[in-house]
Amino acid sequence: MFDQNRTGIFSMLDEECNFKGGNTERFTTNAWQQWGSNKSPYFVQPKSTIPNQFGVNHYASFVNYNTDEWLEKNTDALKEDMYEGLLTSDVEFIRSLLSSDKGMARRKQTVAIRFQNQLKDLRTELESTETQFIRCIKPNMEASPDKLDNNLVGAQLESAGVLQTIALKRQGYPVRRPLAQFCHYFYFIMPSSTVRYFKAEKYSEACTDFLNYYQKLYRWGTPNFAVGKTKVFLRAEVWSALERLALRRKAQLIARCKPFLRRWAEEYRERKRKELEAKLAEQKRLRELREAKMAECANGLPEEKLAWAEDLSNVFPNMERNTLLDIVAEADSQDEALAGCLSVQDQSIDNQSPTTFFQFMRDAGVDRGVTQDLVSNDVKTLAALSKLSADELKQSGCTDLNVVDIKKRLQNLQSQRAKYERLEGAIGSKNQDSVVEDLKAYEANRHQVDFDTKAQQLVAMGFKEEDARLVLAHYNGNVERSAARLLYNFNKQSVKKNASKHGNFNTTDPNVQKLISMGVPKLKAKEALRKTDGDVDAAVKVLF
């Protein structure tokens, strides 16, 4: 009635606008003549003879239209000065919307034509897509909270087709479930014949057999269900009866399971209690073992110093036992021992693995007598050691190999400490993530390069340290190949025999292993020792 080509209301309105002497009264009279006098069940002609209105029975409700000024509003176009102003806008998007061609076409179109074009585009889009409707209901006309206008809401539900849909579903099968989901939901109340179909995954036959069984049992009115290819359709009363039966069955099963659940809970609590007792017993055993080792490793310390060690172990629980005993052995008083522990804690990298002066010198292979001379000259910390030059270390009795090893180890410790200090300063700032990633990369590279770390990794796997260092030197620091050789095909005598074929200085030589642990490639370490006839200090000078 609205969008027909010649006789539609929009077409008649546009035609009247095209006439030079067109007016609203003639348009309304033409609409009465075309659609009035019961020619259309939707058009309502008023009883008044003044041609200024008509009514339409829309799908939602009746609407009465007043046609005054329809022609003026239909021909309303964008003013020329406004159009020119928008066309000269600095925003490119606005200029693209009001191009010259589109502007001319827009001014020639009427409101009715634009509305028809927009409606046509909307219909085309809706027909080409799968539409999902969201029905919004307005509770009242005042937009006030906690207020419901029953008449308004009912009219909206009726116009949206919600009431008709509910009525149709009540007359048909409102409950619709997929076959497999329906079978799983009512598995508790299935008869044995249905269970066989269910276990064979014949869900359609299982649903049919299940519903027929309860149809005979309850004598429901027919038809009350239907089984399709993918879904089962039920009336509301059938679904309610089956659901009540399933809930009662589940309640019975839960009641039967309560004793088993109670027993399981008691067993679980008892198992946890035993685990806690075992954990406490293990902690007690480790504590006693630690105390026994402290006594065994006292190395003849007097009772007074043993008491110092026990007191300091309570103050510094994370400090290693050997480190603590070294500090106590060298201290002349308890205050001096406490100061030494504090110094070690200050030198720790991450507060968990402190490196003492004595442990550092042992790892570098320095003779204990040289270490004692350094201590007597008030060189007791790594900070003091780092201030000594290479010549001063040699004057103290260190070999060239010791000097190079000490300098490399100090450099690694300083670099590691700088990384952690940088991390501490970056915590809470925007650079925190990047610093953490740099630290992870640094740690990964350090563990990858450090020969001693690799050897300790193999020792942690259960291999002897001597064998681990031998095979690791043979494979030039490759942990994976070394572990595979130690695990599957390792014979120390065979390795030494094969290595002896390559000359005197091979990977079985401790000096070669020492140079490799300092970062020297295997071939260069052998070559340097052969050139210097086994003089490791001279080899160090050649290499470093």
Contact 413, 382 (CB under 8 A): yes
CA 25 to chain centre: 70
Is a pLDDT exceeding 50 seen at residue 350?
no
Chain segment 133-163, per-residue pLDDT in tens: 788 889 998 988 889 999 999 888 888 878 8
Binning pLDDT at 50, 70 and 90, where does residue 432 land? low
Measured in degrees and rounded to the nearest 5, phi and psi for residue 226 equal -150, 140
- Classify the phi-psi angles of 499: left when phi > 0, otherwise alpha if psi is within -120 to 50, otherwise beta: alpha
Q: Is residue 96, in this structure, part of any structural domain at all? A: no
Q: Is residue 403, in this structure, part of any structural domain at all? A: yes
Q: CB under 8 Å to 377, separation ≥6 — which residues?
A: 396
DSSP conformation class of 139: S
Whether the model pTM is above 0.85 = no
CATH of the domain at 419: 1.10.150
Contact 435, 422 (CB under 8 A): yes
Q: Is residue 252, in this structure, part of any structural domain at all? A: no
Q: Specify whether 409 is located in the same domain as 458.
A: no
User: 430, 458, 480: which is the final residue of a domain?
Assistant: 430
Is a pLDDT exceeding 90 seen at residue 269?
yes
Q: Residue 267 has what pLDDT?
A: 92
Q: Residue 353 has what pLDDT?
A: 43
Chain segment 31-50, per-residue pLDDT in tens: 888 888 778 878 888 877 77
Q: Is residue 536, in this structure, part of any structural domain at all? A: yes
- Classify the phi-psi angles of 399: left when phi > 0, otherwise alpha if psi is within -120 to 50, otherwise beta: beta
Chain segment 96-140, per-residue pLDDT in tens: 776 554 444 444 567 777 778 888 888 888 788 877 778 888 999
Q: Specify whether 410 is located in the same domain as 489.
A: no
Cα angle 97, 102, 105; round to 5: 145
Chain segment 458-467, per-residue pLDDT in tens: 777 777 777 7
Mean pLDDT over residues 414-430, rounded?
A: 58
Q: Specify whether 413 is located in the same domain as 364.
A: yes
Chain segment 192-236, per-residue pLDDT in tens: 889 888 888 899 999 999 998 888 888 877 778 888 888 998 888
Q: What is the Cα–Cα distance from 161 to 230, expressed in whole angstroms?
A: 27
Q: Is residue 488, in this structure, part of any structural domain at all? A: yes
DSSP conformation class of 188: G
Binning pLDDT at 50, 70 and 90, where does residue 332 land? confident
Q: Specify whether 475 is located in the same domain as 425.
A: no
Q: Specify whether 404 is located in the same domain as 485.
A: no
Binning pLDDT at 50, 70 and 90, where does residue 544 land? low
Q: Residue 205 has what pLDDT?
A: 92
Q: What is the Cα–Cα distance from 400 to 393, expressed in whole angstroms?
A: 9
Binning pLDDT at 50, 70 and 90, where does residue 501 land? low
Give the range of the structural domain holding residue 400, as residue numbers without chain letter.
354-430
Q: Specify whether 390 is located in the same domain as 454.
A: no
Q: What is the Cα–Cα distance from 55 to 36, expressed in whole angstroms?
A: 10
Q: Is residue 46, in this structure, part of any structural domain at all? A: no
Q: Is residue 143, in this structure, part of any structural domain at all? A: no
Q: Which residue has the tokens 């004598």?
A: 219
Q: What percent of the chain has pLDDT over 70?
A: 76
Binning pLDDT at 50, 70 and 90, where does residue 363 land? confident
Domain count along the chain:
2
CA 395 to chain centre: 59
Binning pLDDT at 50, 70 and 90, where does residue 437 land? low
* β partners of residue 56: 43, 63
CA 37 to chain centre: 71
Average pLDDT over the chain reads: 76
Chain segment 241-253, per-residue pLDDT in tens: 899 999 998 889 8
Q: CB under 8 Å to 146, separation ≥6 — which residues?
A: none
Q: Is residue 520, in this structure, part of any structural domain at all? A: yes
Binning pLDDT at 50, 70 and 90, where does residue 508 land? low
Binning pLDDT at 50, 70 and 90, where does residue 428 land? low
For 400, the token pair is: 């060239």
Q: Specify whether 415 is located in the same domain as 458.
A: no
Q: Specify whether 456 is located in the same domain as 510.
A: yes
Chain segment 175-193, per-residue pLDDT in tens: 888 999 999 999 888 888 8
* Residue closest to 501 by CA, chosen among 526, 478, 537: 526
Binning pLDDT at 50, 70 and 90, where does residue 447 land? very low
Binning pLDDT at 50, 70 and 90, where does residue 92 land? confident
